[in-house]
Amino acid sequence: MFTRNACTNIKGSYLNALRIISLFLELKENPGLDIFPHTYIFGAKAAPGYHMAKEIIKLICHISKEIEKNPRIKEKLNVVFLEDYCVTLAESLMPAAEISQQISLAGKEASGTGNMKFMINGGITLGTYDGANIEIAEAVGNENIFIFGLKSEEVEGLWKAGYNSSYYYIRNEKLKNTIDFLNTGFDGNFKEIVKYLLVQGVADPYLCLADFNSYDEACLKAENAYKDFYKWNKMSLINIANAGRFAADRSISEYAKYIWDLKPLN
Ligand SMILES: *Cc1c(COP(=O)(O)O)cnc(C)c1O
């Protein structure tokens, strides 16, 4: 199974990396663990000054190297980071992906156009209820998409109530083991990420820890669906068949109608 990860935002890349590390730790403990073999392909870019985004790219490359050293883990878990993500590379990646992870903090850093490109190529969206994911969900129905996590009004509610990432860290053993490993493992190179998630300023500003469990469950649900060949391909076809609404023609006709106030000549 191939997953391509939209990595242009913090929440998506952090949740992804945390879950991959948790799988890595589980497989390290028990190499015979019955998990579905999975390759995670990252295509990503970070703005030159975006420090935390660069840290996560470093982390993903580190995980990939660590897996290389463990042939038994590599049979079930693979991480590939493709350099120089660009349109040409995306043209090969998008048709190959089976899951399109489109994760953002609802209301804050909405996923945009990549999800549409995957959809038309049969990739099934696993993402938060945000941005164009909402339109995809409306087009295909909830049974043909994997939506998880806090919705924008819940995000607001959590901020108002006072968000405390440690609450989730303490209560979820899988998450705690993963973050603890990040503090000491990988040659101690990623303590800064731990601080970012638990301590520094407003800790975990993208609410990654709050959504970790829900994300984990959605991934398992997707994996189970994938095991059913007919079910999966039906879902995929329904996505392709409904992708037409994102055509440029529709977009231009809506601009003409609602914004430019233009009428067609014919
Ligand atoms: C589509 C595309 C993007 C934008 O992706 P989003 O998922 O909308 O953030 C960025 N880079 C490349 C190369 C693309 O093809």
Q: What angle do CA 186, 190, 191 make, to 5 degrees?
A: 120
So what's the pLDDT on residue 265? 87
- Return the SS3 of 169: helix
Q: Which residues contact 143 (CB under 8 A, 6 or more apart)?
A: 235
146-148 vs 99-102, strand pairing mode: unpaired
> Is the CB of residue 142 below 6 angstroms from any atom belonging to ligand 1?
no
Q: Percentage of the chain surpassing pLDDT 70?
A: 96
So what's the pLDDT on residue 89? 92
Q: Looking at the predicted structure, is the pLDDT value of residue 85 above 80?
A: yes
Which atom from ligand 1 is nearest to the alpha carbon of 45? Answer: 11
Give the distance (Å) from ligand 1 centre to CA of residue 97: 14
> Is the CB of residue 266 below 6 angstroms from any atom belonging to ligand 1?
no
> Is the CB of residue 87 below 6 angstroms from any atom belonging to ligand 1?
yes
> Is the CB of residue 116 below 6 angstroms from any atom belonging to ligand 1?
no
So what's the pLDDT on residue 6? 47
> Is the CB of residue 22 below 6 angstroms from any atom belonging to ligand 1?
no
* Amino acid making up residue 170: I
> Is the CB of residue 82 below 6 angstroms from any atom belonging to ligand 1?
no
Distance of CA 59 to the CA centre of its chain: 15
- How far apart (Å, rounded) are the C-alpha atoms in residues 121 and 65? 30
- How far apart (Å, rounded) are the C-alpha atoms in residues 44 and 5? 8
> Is the CB of residue 8 below 6 angstroms from any atom belonging to ligand 1?
yes
- How far apart (Å, rounded) are the C-alpha atoms in residues 224 and 68? 26
Distance of CA 233 to the CA centre of its chain: 21
Class of residue 61 by CB neighbours under 10 A (exposed 0-12, middle 13-18, buried 19+): middle
Residue 234 within any structural domain of the chain: yes
Ligand 1 mutation target, pool 5, 8, 92, most atoms within 8 A of CB = 8
> Is the CB of residue 185 below 6 angstroms from any atom belonging to ligand 1?
no
Residue 265 within any structural domain of the chain: no
Q: What is the mean pLDDT of the chain?
A: 91
Residue 6 within any structural domain of the chain: yes
Which of 106, 23, 105, 120 is closest to 63 using CA atoms? 23
Q: Tell me the pLDDT band of 1, cut-offs 50, 70 and 90.
A: low
Residue 266 within any structural domain of the chain: no
Residue 173 within any structural domain of the chain: yes
- How far apart (Å, rounded) are the C-alpha atoms in residues 236 and 125? 10
Class of residue 64 by CB neighbours under 10 A (exposed 0-12, middle 13-18, buried 19+): middle
**CATH code of residue 59:** 3.40.50.2000
Which atom from ligand 1 is nearest to the alpha carbon of 86? Answer: 13
> Is the CB of residue 125 below 6 angstroms from any atom belonging to ligand 1?
no
> Is the CB of residue 9 below 6 angstroms from any atom belonging to ligand 1?
no
Do 245 and 115 contact (CB within 8 A), yes or no? no
- How far apart (Å, rounded) are the C-alpha atoms in residues 114 and 181? 32
User: Tens of pLDDT along 96-109?
Assistant: 999 999 998 887 76
Which of 78, 76, 12, 92 is closest to 44 using CA atoms? 12
So what's the pLDDT on residue 197? 94
> Is the CB of residue 90 below 6 angstroms from any atom belonging to ligand 1?
yes
Split into its structural domains, the chain has a count of 1
Ligand 1 mutation target, pool 113, 126, 135, most atoms within 8 A of CB = 113
Selected residue with higher pLDDT from 33 and 201: 33
Residue 57 within any structural domain of the chain: yes
Ligand 1 atom 14, closest CA: 87
Q: Across the chain, how many H-helices and E-strands are there? A: 13, 6
Residue 263 within any structural domain of the chain: no
The model's pTM: 0.91
So what's the pLDDT on residue 49? 82
> Is the CB of residue 114 below 6 angstroms from any atom belonging to ligand 1?
yes
Q: Residue for token digits 């164009």?
A: 132
Give the distance (Å) from ligand 1 centre to CA of residue 114: 5
- Domain coverage including residue 46: 2-258
Q: Looking at the predicted structure, is the pLDDT value of residue 199 above 80?
A: yes
Task: Quote the tokens at residue 4.
Answer: 């391509």
Calculate mean pLDDT across residues 69-84. 93
Q: What angle do CA 68, 41, 29 make, to 5 degrees?
A: 45
Residue 264 within any structural domain of the chain: no
